[in-house]
Structure 1
């Protein structure tokens, strides 16, 4: 299957965006500043999740759905 230049550029852009988001999250975690609300659904991120992963930007449910979708697309 041939991948077009557009598809390749789009994939590279997504990777770069994810990398930049990870860097921003890591900086927040290092500074001790977390995100209180889920970026997907807007509900509060649970205290246990924030304590375990201060850089979390999604609640547990949304993160689980995100990872499931990511695995599905990667196949």
Structure 2
């Protein structure tokens, strides 16, 4: 059931688009290729177990944790089609 000017299914389309965007972003951040033996950031050796567990790993655990903290500020809301975002 559509409300106002929106068509039927518009809310579900926005939800689907948000999920697709999140999946695309997550997939783009997956490591690829050969794992490094030494961290790109600090130069510390990356443990063999980590290199085997995470294919294409480029950072040690400490540097990866720091990078994850920096990325945690992303909102995750898709406002492409929302009327609210067009008014701001």
Q: TM-score range by the shorter chain?
A: 0.5 to 0.7
Report the CA distance between 1:70 and its aligned residue.
1.0
Q: 5+ unaligned residues in a row in structure 2: which ranges?
A: 1-27, 76-88
- How many pairs are equivalent? 48
Name the TM-score, length of structure 2 as normaliser. 0.46
The residue number in structure 2 matching 1:63 is: 64
Distance 1:34 1:44 in 2: 11
Alpha-carbon separation, structure 2, partners of 1:58 and 1:43: 9
Structure 1, unaligned runs of 5 or more: 1-18
TM-score (norm. length: structure 1): 0.53
Between Structure 1 and Structure 2, which shows a larger proportion of helix residues?
Answer: 1
Q: Could you say what the CA RMSD is over the residues aligned between the two structures, in angstroms?
A: 1.9
* Rg comparison, structure with higher value: 2
